[in-house]
Amino acid sequence: MKIRVYYEDTDSGGVVYHANYLNFMERARTEWLRDLGVNQHSLKIKDNVMFVVANMAIKFKKSAVLDDELTVHTKLLKLKPCSLDLIQDIFKGDELLIQSSITVACIDASQLKPLKIPTEIKKLMETL
């Protein structure tokens, strides 16, 4: 997934504000799910299911600046009953800027409690 850096993403250090890389990764996870056929809005409204970040380890190696075009790579590492482990890396061209490993938990959207990943979605993910 391609991401363009706009003014909103930067800070007065002249680079992308660190927390905003998490936005880029979240956009990439959303598109990764959409590519699998999963729409998070209808998943929440119709099935009362949400995917939320439970754990995250990030290494900020290099900074991006205004107008950069970045690519986010998302890779499924492990599929567990109620969560999934992902690797998400952000590149500028061939250069690795950000490395992260993320656990995304499946939860009940109204009670915010752990939930088994719906079987249909699990099957789609197992095809990866």
Query: Which residues make up the interface to its own copies (CB under 8 A)?
Result: 4, 6-8, 10-15, 17-20, 22-23, 26-27, 30, 39-42, 44, 50, 52-60, 63, 65-67, 109, 112
CA atoms of 19 and 64, how far apart (whole Å):
13
The least CB distance from residue 115 to its own copies, in Å, is 14
- H or E stretch covering 22: helix 20-36
Q: How far is the CB of 21 from its own copies (least distance, A)?
A: 8
Distance CA 112, CA 98 (A): 29
11 labelled catalytic: yes
Looking at the Cβ atoms of 2 and 126, the one nearer to its own copies is: 2
The three-state secondary structure class of 52 is: strand
Among residues 11, 35, 67, 108, which one is catalytic? Answer: 11
Structure tokens at 31: 């598109």
By C-beta, is 110 or 126 nearer to its own copies? 110
Decide if 3 contacts 70 (C-beta within 8 A).
yes
Annotated catalytic residues are 11
